[in-house]
Chains A and B, each alone.
Chain A
Amino acid sequence: METNQQPAPVLTPSELARHERAWGIIRRLVDDKRQAEKDIVDNFHTDPLIQAAVAKLKAENERRGTAVVPL
């Protein structure tokens, strides 16, 4: 029986290594992003750097009477 399906191309070991390395990078990018998003939420109340920045920002906004800045 004839089908239109193309046979899977055979990759050389070098091609396969490059292909897998490239996909490894993409998956790592996504994993790192998810971890960073989780850390943002988890560390928000405990990270002194973040809490200091938020306090500064809120004080500035209160002094100015608004969080909005004209462009």
Chain B
Amino acid sequence: MSEEEPPLSRYNFDFAGGIQNSYLFVTQKQIIYEILFKPTPYLFGEGFVLSDEIVELVIKVADNPTDRRPSLDVLIAPTVAAIIKDFYEKSSLTITIFICDTADRRHEARWRKFNRWYEHFAASDYIRIDDSLRDKKEEVLYHWALIAKNNNPYLREVGLAFLDLMADLRIGK
């Protein structure tokens, strides 16, 4: 199967729930991935109208019995996309934040992976806003993205809050 042809399948997954809204799936190589939608109410300030709906997307290999770095698996992107969709079906007001940094120099690979997941996920009823910024103090570059449903009644407030934060980060530049 080439990368250009979207896979016609994904992995089975389970919603474990908990405070961090945990999902799990097991690959054919028995590698277990955990995905969190971690509540992040502080992003736009505790008083923000949807502060309880803001989550940070975290994706991590939880257990890898192969003891080798997982190789490219074309079923992971559609699985992550299906999990994000499933979470939005549980709460359509969700605002998802994904951030990656350059601290260990593998950020570009992580950002590309996120974009691959998003390509599978992307539907016309979602909106995504991206930004990249450099922290001069710590010499780190960040990529981050916000995803919300188009029909979120607070989309304007979400967009303005994101732009305000971007502007505050750039004050003096």
Contacts and interface: CB of A to CB of B under 8 A. Distances in A.
Size bin of chain A's contact surface: 35 or more
A53 B40 contact: no
B56 A32 contact: yes
A67 B12 contact: yes
B12 A61 contact: yes
A53 B14 contact: yes
A52 B22 CA distance: 12
B135 A57 contact: no
Nearest to B35: A40
A37 B8 CA distance: 29
B11 interface: yes
Interface in A1-59: 8-9, 11, 15-16, 18-19, 21-23, 25-30, 32-33, 36-37, 40-41, 44-45, 49-50, 52-54, 56-58
Contact of B62 (A8, A33, A44): A44
B56 A33 contact: yes
Contact residue range for chain B?
A: 35 or more
Nearest to B16: A53
A29 B172 contact: no
Nearest to A14: B171
Contacts of B9: 68-71
B34 A29 contact: no
Interface in B1-20: 7-18, 20
Given A23-B169, A25-B42, A32-B56, A71 B34 contact: no
Contacts of A69: 9-12
11 contacts: A9-B172, A11-B172, A33-B38, A41-B61, A44-B34, A45-B63, A49-B18, A57-B24, A64-B12, A70-B9, A71-B8
| A-B interface, 9 closest residue pairs, ranked by CB to CB distance from nearest | A53-B16, A22-B168, A19-B171, A18-B168, A40-B60, A44-B62, A57-B14, A22-B169, A9-B172
Interface of B: 7-18, 20, 22, 24-28, 32, 34, 36, 38, 40, 42-43, 56, 58, 60-63, 75, 78, 82, 97, 99, 101, 103, 133, 135, 137-138, 142, 144, 165, 168-169, 171-172
